[in-house]
């Protein structure tokens, strides 16, 4: 009689654990499905296409069209005239670029596109420079928009200043 009671207790204990694990799995799966369904859909136009179009317009000096690809935050910090002046200060010419595969965040709210940019700096038009980095995007009103109006400007200006100061120290 006592053996039957011990086995009953063991079976009840095992069943409790099984039900607890099943409840945790069901709750986790439900949370995962809710999270996945709450993500926005990716737009038809990928971030790599927007990066390509942006670089084409910068290369063609169509700064107003390129400016329109920037996010509302980036546009609030500049205007097409400022973007044009910054681009003219940075680029003499953009020779070519290579885009890597875009990296979309799990939430689908942001992405980045690796870029290798070959350009002629405004301060040294005969010299071809190479800049590697990312163009970062955020999803805004169903479209990919650049996080910064001129993504490489700060890095290129820093590179210019380092070259300038390195040259002045050697003299």
- pLDDT recorded at residue 161: 82
Residues 162 and 140 in one domain: yes
- Taking CA atoms, 138 is separated from 31, 112, 114, in Å, by 25, 9, 15
Residues 28 and 51 in one domain: no
Residues 58 and 139 in one domain: yes
Number of folded domains that form the chain: 2
Residues 150 and 110 in one domain: yes
- pLDDT recorded at residue 158: 86
Q: Evaluate if residue 88 carries a pLDDT over 70.
A: yes
Q: Evaluate if residue 41 carries a pLDDT over 70.
A: no
Closest CA to 140 of 58, 61, 69, 54: 69
- Which is more confident, 121 or 165? 121
The model's pTM is 0.71
Residues 160 and 85 in one domain: yes
Domain that holds residue 9: 1-38
Q: E strands within the chain? A: 91-99, 103-104, 110-121, 129-140, 143-146
Spell out the alpha helix ranges (H) of 39-152: 47-59, 63-67, 72-76, 80-90
Average pLDDT of 148-158?
A: 87
Residues 71 and 9 in one domain: no
Percent residues over pLDDT 70 in the chain: 88
């Amino acid at each position: 009689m006592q053996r039957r009671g011990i086995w009953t207790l063991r079976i009840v204990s095992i069943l409790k654990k099984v039900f607890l694990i099943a409840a945790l799995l069901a709750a986790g799966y439900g949370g995962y499905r809710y999270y996945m369904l709450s993500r926005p859909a990716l737009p038809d136009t990928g971030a790599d296409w927007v990066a390509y179009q942006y670089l084409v317009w910068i290369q063609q000096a169509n700064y107003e069209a390129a400016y329109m690809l920037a996010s509302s935050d980036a546009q609030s910090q500049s205007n097409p005239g400022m973007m044009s002046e910054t681009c003219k200060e940075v680029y003499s010419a953009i020779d070519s670029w290579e885009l890597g595969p875009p990296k979309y965040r799990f939430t689908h709210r942001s992405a980045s596109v690796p870029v290798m940019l070959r350009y002629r700096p405004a301060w040294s038009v005969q010299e071809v420079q190479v800049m590697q980095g990312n163009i970062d995007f955020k999803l805004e009103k169903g479209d990919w928009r650049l996080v910064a109006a001129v993504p490489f400007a700060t890095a290129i200006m820093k590179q210019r200043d380092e070259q300038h100061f390195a040259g002045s120290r050697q003299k």
